[in-house]
Amino acid sequence: MGTVGRNRFEWTWIATAVAASLGFVWLAWALSRGELTVFDETLRARLHSFATPSLTLLMQFATLLGSQPAVLAIAAGSAFVFFRKGRRDAGTLLLISIGGAELLENVLKVQFHRQRPEPFFDSVLPGSYSFPSGHALLAVCLYGILAWILSAGRRDLAKWLIWIGAAALVEVVGVSRVYLGVHHPTDVIGGYLVAIAWITTLRRVRGRIGNA
């Protein structure tokens, strides 16, 4: 990649980080004014209208993939593999991503202290606040960083398949939180925006991992 192309690529990452940050700020402002209540309730009701026993089981499984225990276990196991293979930069990047996500989740939930909605299917509400969704944030930071690491140096088709798989997994985790009734849709959107801002910032700071 030439100098001009490389600079354009880097500016794209910077613009993405800024856009996600501004999007989160706007979302938080709109929520503080109660402007998205109708959006949240309408989408929650719409998703709930598709409920079936089999779909509920699928959503319950999907939500586990974004849970803190699962994310920490997958991140720790993956980092261990990377370190064993001599890919220290990759392992470190993954751990920094998840560590930062955990910190951001806790700080932001306390800052906004949004109450959770009424759950569906007798789901047990977590004891933490609702905004932003920790499942959405952690899922993007884990599966997004893994996609970045695993797609580095691969052919275009393999890259696309890896990124499509990661995106689909992140989306179904987010949808599962709304479907089960334990989050407002804007909680999930907020989690996505925070995660995108965080990992694109990491991308800019860490640079290309190459064959790390």
Residues with catalytic roles: 135, 183
Q: How far is CA 136 from the centre of its chain?
A: 4
103-126 exposure pattern, b = at least 16 Cβ within 10 A, e = fewer: ebbeebbeebebebbeebeebeee
Written as six digits, the tokens of 123 are 């789901």
CA distance 191 to 104: 10
**C-alpha closest to that of 66 among 138, 141, 166:** 138
Write the DSSP string, 37-79.
HHHHHHHHHHHHTT--HHHHHHHHHHHHTTSHHHHHHHHHHHH
